[in-house]
Amino acid sequence: MVGFLIQRLLQAAVVMVVISAMVFVGVFAIGNPIDVLISPDVTQQIRLDTIKAYGLDQPLWRQYLTFITRLVQGNFGRSFVFNMPVLDLILSRLPATLELTLAAVLGAALIGVPLGMFAGYRPDSIAAKLLMGLSVLGFSVPTFWIGLILILVFAVNLGWLPAGGRGATVSVLGVEWSFLTLEGLKHLLLPALTLSLFRLALMIRLARAGMREAILSDYVKFARAQGLSEAKVIWGHVLKNISIPIVTVFGLEFGATLAFAVVTETIFSWPGLGKLIIDSIQSLDRPVMVAYLMLVAFLFIMINFVVDIAYAALDPRLRAGRA
């Protein structure tokens, strides 16, 4: 296990170095932030001074070296636009995105997996067919459209829920959370629902496929032959067996939603990371872009790591090669 951890850590370090170089070059190619940062009518001297102050006069490889050296010291640099440390900026936006993502993906899993299991258990029932039809909708309708319709119905026409923003937040350990207040929850509901519909459809399909396969297997027949109740057969035997693909997709979707909830955050003016990255691309705020993309890569590495550990916990056969 310790060997496995060390191996994974080394892998992660290599991946992060490669990603940082790719991101740095990629962001460099997008455009020169100087044109955005300085108004065109300042003197040539001020212009040169500013370029020098941001280190933009250096060749790319030197800028990268400076960046990496500072990074190793835990310094991501300062945002050109917000003029504050990038790390602080990102950490101040992360909780909003985190709670939105958690609500959407966890909600989709907690509702979708039981529904999918039911649909796989009674595939010929009307409810199961209805669920399958709805899940096709969940796959094919674009997220932004769902968001707009939800706003139109629940915020504009019915006036039950707010159309945007985070609402009141409560500070826990210095971090602001919406889900702890009723008003915050109301604000959270529509964007979380928008984000979750696709994931819900995915979870339903996955759980249904797993259930249909499991229900025909010998171990389920054998469990029934022992006189186990259907509840014990399903929750005691089947669930753990079908959870590996579910956990995999959960991890991937969690990472993807966390990193790319941009559209939904924009529609609902949710002050999260997605909005921050869109703003910083528009203003060519390089340090923010670089740090954000690296954070995303880091999150994916962490999520995959946790998923691998979950595999080992779920399936003993995967533990063997790891001792």
Nearest to 24 by CA among 57, 87, 74, 71: 71
Q: What is the nearest approach in angstroms of other proteins to the Cβ of residue 81?
A: 51
**For residues 165 and 271, what is the distance between their CA atoms, to the nearest angstrom?**
7
Residue number with CB closer to other proteins (159 or 321)? 321
**Residue choice 181, 241, 283, 304 for contact with other proteins (CB under 8 A):** 241
Residue recorded with tokens 């959370």: 177
Q: Looking at residue 42, what DSSP letter applies?
A: S
**Residue choice 159, 225, 321, 323 for contact with other proteins (CB under 8 A):** 225
- Phi, psi dihedral angles at 285 (to 5 degrees): -80, 85
Q: What is the nearest approach in angstroms of other proteins to the Cβ of residue 225?
A: 4
Nearest to 147 by CA among 163, 161, 131: 163
**For residues 302 and 9, what is the distance between their CA atoms, to the nearest angstrom?**
10
- Binding to other proteins by residue 314, rule CB under 8 A? yes
**Residue choice 40, 218, 321, 323 for contact with other proteins (CB under 8 A):** 218
Structure tokens at 260: 């790319």
Those residues with Cβ within 8 angstroms of residue 320's Cβ, 6 or more apart along the chain or in another chain: none
User: What are the angstrom distances between the C-alpha of 260 and each of 8, 149, 264, 309, 313?
Assistant: 25, 21, 9, 25, 29
Structure tokens at 56: 């933009």
- Binding to other proteins by residue 245, rule CB under 8 A? no
Q: How many residues bind other proteins (CB under 8 A)?
A: 22
Q: What is the nearest approach in angstroms of other proteins to the Cβ of residue 132?
A: 19
- Binding to other proteins by residue 159, rule CB under 8 A? no
**Residue choice 7, 32, 217, 269 for contact with other proteins (CB under 8 A):** 217
**Residue choice 26, 133, 142, 236 for contact with other proteins (CB under 8 A):** 236
Residue number with CB closer to other proteins (40 or 316)? 316
Burial of 299 (0-12, 13-18, 19+ CB in 10 A): middle
**Residue choice 159, 174, 316, 321 for contact with other proteins (CB under 8 A):** 316
Q: What is the nearest approach in angstroms of other proteins to the Cβ of residue 226?
A: 4
Residue number with CB closer to other proteins (32 or 229)? 229
Nearest to 253 by CA among 196, 185, 297, 294: 196
**Residue choice 61, 139, 219, 235 for contact with other proteins (CB under 8 A):** 219
- Binding to other proteins by residue 322, rule CB under 8 A? no
Q: Which residues bind other proteins (CB under 8 A)?
A: 217-219, 221-229, 232, 236-237, 240-241, 314-317, 320
